[in-house]
Amino acid sequence: AYIVDEIKELSLSHDGKLETASSGVNHPPGSGPRHMLVHPGGKYAYIVDELTSTICMHKYDGEVGKISKHLQRISTLPPGFENSTKQSTIAAIKAHPSGRHIYVSNRVVNADGLISVFQVDENTGNLEAKSYHSTLGITPRDFEFIGAKMLIAANQDSDSLVAFHVDDNTGGLRETGQRAHCSSPVCIVQI
């Protein structure tokens, strides 16, 4: 297996060619960085490691397009999960429109997936785990905010879209009772 645990920095030359920068940022071996999210405030970048179910916080300089080495690395799974027989990988990361919370979907093998909610410290960018919520379906490949008060989860292996209310203060999720059948949903895009 070929796994790259490095985030490469690329630039676009004047003639339209991608060029690899001389520097990059490494994540721990075997972690499998999957997605990067730049915080709406523009000072921090969060990268999820698919294979280790972790999220890393980096400082971000948007003017030059550079990220620092990770300054925080925490699990996206509930306490005690690592001691169970369950396995999980990460699929998606999104910021709440307010920027106060970061959400990560965890694909738990042979069980309902989870969405983990993290509060963002506005002074440091550090994350604090606040809550974990079942997606009421298997393999939550993606999710999307509909405004600031609703989140839709796409559960690929249970063929479902599930709606949740988003709590303004805690960022927590509460089931609305609204579900829709959708064959193997993998992405949600508002149009």
26 forms bridges with which residues in the sheet?
6
Per-residue confidence (pLDDT) for residue 81, from 0 to 100? 82
pLDDT-derived band at 74, boundaries 50, 70, 90: very high
**Whose structure tokens read 């030059």?**
64
d(CA 88, CA 94): 18
Q: Which of 32-41, 43-52, 85-94 has the lowest mean pLDDT?
A: 85-94
**pLDDT over 70 (residue 138):** yes
Nearest to 134 by CA among 170, 100, 158, 169: 158
Is 83 in a helix, a strand, or coil?
Answer: helix
Percent of the chain with pLDDT over 70: 95
Distances (CA, A) of 114 to 56, 61, 108: 18, 31, 7
pTM of the model: 0.92
Per-residue confidence (pLDDT) for residue 3, from 0 to 100? 56
61 forms bridges with which residues in the sheet?
66
Q: Which of 12-26, 84-98, 172-186 has the lowest mean pLDDT?
A: 12-26
Residue type, 42: G
